[in-house]
């Protein structure tokens, strides 16, 4: 993709930024699926979720929460609800789970720890929170809307440490998630910045600026990070809601590279690429090392597209109509799609120790999705072809033997006739 062509795409996407998907969705074209997608099981739960809600896992259990206070423990494989817990307040942010508890924040500003057996263990006041809590060992960390990071003991909810950043004049009330790697917490903040905190004591390791605010008004200069940082061995990748995508050194926060590309929902990754959902709905594949755009798919402009998930050589996204779309990770071409709900889908998650996905809609439909990859279909086809060829060989051998027997009979008849 050349620089002139990429600039043209960036201009097109920028013009589409403000277009509402309700007014201007890109219609889907007919698609001949290149592989099979199966909805293996489905559970329908009551209550509506929010886009900042996530399914949580602990061992073989899946946990679901709705805004009205319902928390459910599920055996998704057997389509079984193990227990329900009705919280006294509405739920604002979550879920997160460890081996003992499930954590969520309610509208009263309390962080709640619910045991995996469905009993409320403790509540601690933390203020307004939109991002899901983050568990690290024996601590659970939250980021409040006032830019305060708080670590609490998972046993009793006692505060271990807190770190307060300056409160910006104008900030997006977002669900931007935190990332954890080697006892260091990474979180994007306002004004195109990212911080690294020591999880043990809450001390600041570094603060880096990767996307300078632009414009004359506070609204124009709003440049929050509303998505989850992607952390590799020595590099952390981050994208602003209105600005740049960048790679920073994990050692000191120095910017290794940055390029114009905006995303509110965030990005997925594999070993070589970042897959980024632009605010317009276009999907970009950016090389981690060279920061060059390898491909762009603009088939989903205005469709309220989710953060991409890399899975089995596919880039998976969902849209506002309840479709799951599967793109080729090398070319960006749409390979397959399936409609699994009539409402917006939450971020797909890979089931632990499984090759399947679990997906949830905001209306409480939870499904297991299984796919047969192109390689799998090719393998099945090859096996079928080999079997067909083998059968053909057997049939040919039988024909040869039958013809030989027929020829023998003809010779015998002839010999008898001569006699």
Q: Does the pLDDT value for residue 364 go beyond 90?
A: no
The b/e string for 366-396 (b: 16+ C-beta within 10 A; e otherwise) is bbbbebebbeeeeeeeeeeeeeeeeeeeeee
Contact 366, 360 (CB under 8 A): yes
Confidence of residue 94 (pLDDT cuts 50, 70, 90): confident
> What is the CA 97 to chain-centroid distance, rounded?
17
Cis peptide before 95 (omega within 30 of 0): yes
CA dihedral 221, 166, 142, 153 (to 10 degrees): 170
Q: Comparing 61-75, 341-355, 393-407, which segment has the lowest mean pLDDT?
A: 393-407
Most confident of 101-115, 173-187, 294-308, 312-326: 101-115
Q: Enter the tokens of residue 375.
A: 């390689």
Q: Mean pLDDT for the chain?
A: 82
Class assignment of domain 175-262? mainly beta
Contact 363, 48 (CB under 8 A): yes
Q: Comparing 65-69, 72-76, 168-172, 309-313, which segment has the lowest mean pLDDT?
A: 168-172
Class assignment of domain 52-161? mainly beta
Contact 262, 242 (CB under 8 A): yes
Rounded average pLDDT over 130-156: 94
Q: Does the pLDDT value for residue 415 go beyond 50?
A: no
Q: Does the pLDDT value for residue 396 go beyond 90?
A: no
At 266-279, the pLDDT tens digits run 899 999 999 999 98
At 52-68, the pLDDT tens digits run 677 888 877 889 988 89
CA atoms within 13 A on the CB side of 302: 14
Q: Does the pLDDT value for residue 299 go beyond 70?
A: yes
**Biggest CA pair distance of the chain:** 116
Class assignment of domain 1-46+268-372? mainly beta
Rounded average pLDDT over 389-418: 53
Strands (E), 137-266: 139-143, 148-153, 159-164, 179-181, 184-189, 193-198, 204-209, 230-231, 235-239, 244-249, 255-260
What number of other Cβ atoms are within 10 A of residue 338's Cβ? 18
DSSP letters along 210-237, please? -S---SSSHHHH-----S--EE-SSEEE
Q: Is the dihedral of CA 277, 280, 283, 288 positive or negative?
A: negative
3-class secondary structure, 418: helix
pLDDT at 243: 82
């Amino acid at each position: 993709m050349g620089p002139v062509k990429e600039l043209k795409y960036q201009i097109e996407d920028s013009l589409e930024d403000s277009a509402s998907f309700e007014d201007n969705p890109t219609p889907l074209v007919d698609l001949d699926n290149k592989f099979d997608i199966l909805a293996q099981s489905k559970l329908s739960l009551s209550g509506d979720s929010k886009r900042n809600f996530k399914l949580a896992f602990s061992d073989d259990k899946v946990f679901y929460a709705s805004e009205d206070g319902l928390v459910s423990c599920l055996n998704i494989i057997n389509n079984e609800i193990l227990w329900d817990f009705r919280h006294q307040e509405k739920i604002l942010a979550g879920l997160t789970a460890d081996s003992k508890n499930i954590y969520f924040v309610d509208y009263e500003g309390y962080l709640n720890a619910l045991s995996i057996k469905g009993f409320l263990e403790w509540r601690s006041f933390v203020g307004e929170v939109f991002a899901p809590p983050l568990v690290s060992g024996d601590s659970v960390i939250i980021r409040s809307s006032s830019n305060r990071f708080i670590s609490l003991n998972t046993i009793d909810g006692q505060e271990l440490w807190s770190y307060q950043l300056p409160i910006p004049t104008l900030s997006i009330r977002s669900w931007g998630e935190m990332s954890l790697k080697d006892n260091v917490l990474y979180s994007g903040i306002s004004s195109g910045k990212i911080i690294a905190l020591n999880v043990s004591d809450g001390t600041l390791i570094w603060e880096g600026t990767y996307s300078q605010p632009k414009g004359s008004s506070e609204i124009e200069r709003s440049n929050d990070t509303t998505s989850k940082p992607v952390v590799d061995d020595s590099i952390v990748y981050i994208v602003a809601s209105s600005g740049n995508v960048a790679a920073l050194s994990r050692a000191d926060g120095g910017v290794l590279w940055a390029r114009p590309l905006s995303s509110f929902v965030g990005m997925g990754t594999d070993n070589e690429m970042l897959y980024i959902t632009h605010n317009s709905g276009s999907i970009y594949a950016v090389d981690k090392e060279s920061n060059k755009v390898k491909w762009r798919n603009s088939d989903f402009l205005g469709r309220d597209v989710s953060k991409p998930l890399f899975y089995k050589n596919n880039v998976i996204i969902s849209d506002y109509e309840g479709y799951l779309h599967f793109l080729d990770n090398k070319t960006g071409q749409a390979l397959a799609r399936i409609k699994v709900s009539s409402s917006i889908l939450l971020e797909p998650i890979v089931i632990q120790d499984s090759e399947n996905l679990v997906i949830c809609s905001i209306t409480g439909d939870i499904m297991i999705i299984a796919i047969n990859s192109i390689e799998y279909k090719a393998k099945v086809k090859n096996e079928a072809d080999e079997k067909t060829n083998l059968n053909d060989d057997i049939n040919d051998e039988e024909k040869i033997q039958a013809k030989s027997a027929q020829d023998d009979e003809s010779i015998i008849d002839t010999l008898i006739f001569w006699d």
